[in-house]
Amino acid sequence: MSERFRVGERRRLVVASFLMLFTELALIRWVSAYQVHVAYFTNFVLLASFLGIGVGFLRAGRGRDLSRWAPAILAALVLGVFVLRVVKTNGSDALRTVFDLPALPSWVMLPLLFLGSVAAMATIAEGVARLFERFEPLEAYRLDITGSLAGIVVFSLMSFFGLGPLAWGLVIAVLFIALTPREDRMRLVWCGAVVFVFALGSLAPHDTWSPYYRVTVQPADAAGRIGVVVNSLPHQSMMPLAQIQEEFYTRPYTHLQQTPQDVLIVGAGNGNDVALALSRDVGHIDAVEIDPVIQAAGRDRHPAHPYQDPRVSPHIDDGRAYLERTDQTYDLILFALPDSLTLVSGQGSLRLESYLFTREAMETVRDHLNPGGAFAMYNYYRDDVFERYANTMSEVFGHDPCFDAVDQTLGPRQQAVLTVGVEATDIDCETTFRSAVDAPEPSTDDHPFPYVPDRSIPNFYLWWLGAILLASVVIVRLASGAPLGQMRPYVDLFFMGAAFLLLETKSVVQFALLFGTTWFVNSLVFAGILLAVLAAIEVARRAKLPRPIVMYGALLACLAVAWLIPPASLLSLSTVPRFFASVLVAFAPVFVANLIFADRFRDVGASTIAFGANLLGAMLGGVLEYLAIVTGYRALLFGVAILYGLAYLTGRGHLGSREPSAPEARVGADVP
């Protein structure tokens, strides 16, 4: 095989891996934007992607090549999600779809989404796998990670510049075309179809795509209210000032003994709370909002134009991260309806605002209040959530908060306000909230699940995760065209995949706590993980590694250090030292784990089957993420250690008689 051809094949594998990762990210955003059934189950598509990619790798070289149908299947999936999209209107719990027809129930829609995502990703992955098997395993893995890193970087840049589905479709189509033989004209037609169906998401006149949502800003109604809908769910309304003054936004101010001069509003959104504070003659407002599109809509469209006032300093940031970074103190801090309606990057059940409602977060709020200051929060609360928040405020401030029950006619959710002063005498209050004896315990930075009633996995997740695992066994057997026993020699790689996914999840949530749950932080973390993987591969290719037992011992030591240094303990450090300390603690086990994987993977007999087994293990790890709801995230490190222990035990037959590995001479100097 000529050197020129090899370089071309390398580029094709990088491009194919880029396409695979980029498409996965686009599907996660697209499905969550149009299907409310996955609003709080966004790793549903992630799990389907892992299964599909694993199946694609297991199919490589077995039977008919289905990768040529990837654009057609992807176009059909994207169109189906769009046509069957769910529309939820204000004042109604009924879910409707196009032409005002009843939406498909979750027990129908979720299997369709799952199978469609598996099929799309499997056909794309089969194309990657057929290129993958042409190289030595470690070289193929290096090229795959390089392409995946490029996919994350490009998708992140597109999010930064606010580019939506049309741009995603163009990138995907260009990548498909780059991989399509000239004679395959039908595939080129389907590439055009991919662009067309993604473009449908960019043509709606009132839709804008933020890094978190599909944001729909509706025309003003007869009363002057402008609705803001995110991912098909009513989220906010911009209101004229006179209407705002009739709402529960005013309740915290009725308890204050003097006009606050410095105010912090977390969850400032479109600006209703900011407009009201300005009408109260406050001196200065720091308005923190995580979504730039929603804040921009308020700046441009709000009837009261609150963001135009020179007394307002807007901040596009995570509220908890802002509190941890600022030295400013305030007379009043408001948590103004911070309800994200989405999860962090598909990781378990961590929502964008989860770290805002922990006991440690409220302690930070207390520390940022001036003497005589007050803290207030309001929302549409479920009873157990309301009890938890009130109990947390009582524990942190040492006295019960003031309670305003505004609207108790909203079914399971009640509109209410909680206000508490630094001292009990700092506010005027007629009714205080008395926590029940069995009130839910406060959520913590290690267990940031304020919406989960207790330390148990909700039945919804249990049923669907069980169904996914069962379906996965059937799909792998039927779709791969080979018995499950073909993966038996690589069961250690399966356990490595599950362990690494848990380790990745732990890194994501750790950085979310330390630097904010913003899309930018998440993108940096995923890119950093891939860079650590790539670095481990390069070390494995060029350096002599110690025996596997030594490397497993080093990994165990790294996990022990990560356990002994809880992420919350790093919050006391300033930003730069915190960054370097967190990178060292989080990425050291990632690096060592991938040294172990690379050392094992270099000698596999069937690279695509081995890599497929590893990816299916990652899917299991995605299911095991939900154990954090029971144990907390720190305890996931025990799961990581157990899974790597199983990898060592099941892989001893491959490791026991080996000499320390040498550099990979054949491909080491042949880098494109």
The pairing of beta strand 284-289 with beta strand 262-266: parallel
Q: What is the mean pLDDT of residues 210-217?
A: 91
Q: Model confidence at 405, in pLDDT bands (50, 70, 90)? A: confident
Q: Model confidence at 666, in pLDDT bands (50, 70, 90)? A: very low
Q: Are 472 and 618 in contact (CB under 8 A)?
A: no
**Which pLDDT value is given to residue 665?**
38
Which one has a higher pLDDT value, 246 or 274?
274
Q: Model confidence at 558, in pLDDT bands (50, 70, 90)? A: very high
Q: Model confidence at 348, in pLDDT bands (50, 70, 90)? A: low
Tell me the range of 204-208, 241-245, 493-497 where mean pLDDT is highest: 493-497
Dump pLDDT digits (tens) for 370-393.
999 999 998 877 888 888 999 999
Residue 248 host element (H or E): none
Residue 471 has pLDDT above 70, yes or no: yes
Which one has a higher pLDDT value, 408 or 280?
280
**Which pLDDT value is given to residue 282?**
94
Beta strands in 77-181 (DSSP E): 87-88, 95-96
**Which pLDDT value is given to residue 660?**
47
Q: What is the mean pLDDT of residues 143-156?
A: 96
The encoded tokens of residue 532 equal 């650590």
The encoded tokens of residue 378 equal 């309001």
Residue 220 has pLDDT above 80, yes or no: yes
Q: What are phi and psi of 288, to 5 degrees?
A: -105, 125
**Which pLDDT value is given to residue 343?**
57
Q: Is 91 left (phi over 0), alpha (psi -120 to 50) or beta?
A: left
Mean pLDDT of the chain: 87
Q: Are 216 and 226 in contact (CB under 8 A)?
A: no
Q: Are 668 and 4 in contact (CB under 8 A)?
A: no
Q: Is 476 left (phi over 0), alpha (psi -120 to 50) or beta?
A: alpha
The encoded tokens of residue 630 equal 């029971």
Q: Model confidence at 454, in pLDDT bands (50, 70, 90)? A: confident
Q: What percent of the chain has pLDDT over 70?
A: 90
Nearest residue to 555 via CA among 499, 635, 617: 499
Q: What is the mean pLDDT of residues 314-335?
A: 95
Amino acid at 528: G
Which residues on neighbouring strands pair with residue 277, listed in sequence order?
Answer: none
The encoded tokens of residue 645 equal 């222990």
Which residues on neighbouring strands pair with residue 404, listed in sequence order?
Answer: 417
Q: What is the mean pLDDT of residues 544-572?
A: 93
Residue 2 host element (H or E): none
Q: What is the mean pLDDT of residues 45-62?
A: 88
CA distance 71 to 193: 8
**Which pLDDT value is given to residue 657?**
47
* Greatest alpha-carbon span in the chain: 84
Nearest residue to 132 via CA among 660, 614, 639: 614
Count of CB atoms within 10 A of residue 250's CB?
A: 15
Q: Are 257 and 428 in contact (CB under 8 A)?
A: yes
Tell me the range of 83-92, 177-186, 466-475 where mean pLDDT is highest: 466-475
The encoded tokens of residue 80 equal 């189906």
Q: Are 352 and 318 in contact (CB under 8 A)?
A: yes
The encoded tokens of residue 416 equal 């209410």
The encoded tokens of residue 271 equal 């600006």
**Which pLDDT value is given to residue 88?**
62
User: What CATH number belongs to 3-206+454-668?
Assistant: 1.20.1250
Dump pLDDT digits (tens) for 564-610.
998 888 988 888 899 999 999 999 999 999 999 999 998 888 889 89
Show me where the domains of the chain are located: 3-206+454-668, 231-339+359-426
Q: Which CATH architecture has domain 231-339+359-426?
A: 3-Layer(aba) Sandwich (3.40)
Dump pLDDT digits (tens) for 561-575.
999 998 888 988 888
**Which pLDDT value is given to residue 672?**
31
**Which pLDDT value is given to residue 565?**
93
The encoded tokens of residue 361 equal 């977060």
Residue 1 has pLDDT above 90, yes or no: no
Which one has a higher pLDDT value, 484 or 292?
292
CA distance 362 to 323: 10
H-assigned helices in 434-518: 459-480, 491-515
Residue 235 has pLDDT above 50, yes or no: yes
Q: Are 224 and 275 in contact (CB under 8 A)?
A: no
**Which pLDDT value is given to residue 539?**
95
Strand order in the sheet with 214-217: 207-209, 214-217, 226-230, 233-238
pTM of the model: 0.90
Dump pLDDT digits (tens) for 421-431.
999 999 998 88
CA distance 166 to 177: 16
**Which pLDDT value is given to residue 294?**
94
Which residues on neighbouring strands pair with residue 544, listed in sequence order?
Answer: none
Residue 670 has pLDDT above 50, yes or no: no
Dump pLDDT digits (tens) for 502-529.
999 899 889 989 998 888 888 999 999 9
**Which pLDDT value is given to residue 188?**
82
Nearest residue to 416 via CA among 374, 450, 383, 441: 383
Q: Residue 362, SS3?
A: helix
**Which pLDDT value is given to residue 486?**
74
CA distance 392 to 399: 10
